[in-house]
Amino acid sequence: MSSARIVWTDKARRDLRQIVRYLRRYSPQVAEEIGKQVTAATRRLGEFPLSGRAVPELPDSGLPEVIVGNYRVIYEPTENDTVEILSVLHSRRLIPPTRRLRG
């Protein structure tokens, strides 16, 4: 079985950049480590796209998430062997409505 292609939305890229930028003010090492952990988790989704759990706040959306430390990576596996990374956010933040997650 081949790996799914990972595609980051602009929103997800912005989310991760903002998280790393915020953390860097307090600890550059922690910021770098979180960035690496999130990136590694999304790469694993290429091999195991169905490994996440359903987003509890959006049960009817069909969107899964993986937890990386204190962060949630919300994504959407597609039928054409692609995993689209939709958002990365702190676990204490509210989930935006589905329409805003998907673009």
Is the predicted pLDDT of residue 11 greater than 80, yes or no? yes
The residues spanned by each domain of the chain are: 5-101
Look up the pTM and report it.
Answer: 0.91
Q: Tens digit of pLDDT for each residue in 37-54? A: 999 999 999 999 999 999
Is the predicted pLDDT of residue 98 greater than 70, yes or no? no
3-state secondary structure the chain: CCCCEEEECHHHHHHHHHHHHHHHCCCHHHHHHHHHHHHHHHHHHHHCCCCCEECCCCCCCCCEEEEECCEEEEEEECCCCEEEEEEEEECCCCCCCHHHHCC
Pick the CATH number of 5-101 from 3.40.50.800, 3.60.15.10, 3.30.2310.20, 3.40.140.10: 3.30.2310.20
Q: Tens digit of pLDDT for each residue in 56-93? A: 988 888 899 999 999 999 999 988 899 999 999 999 98
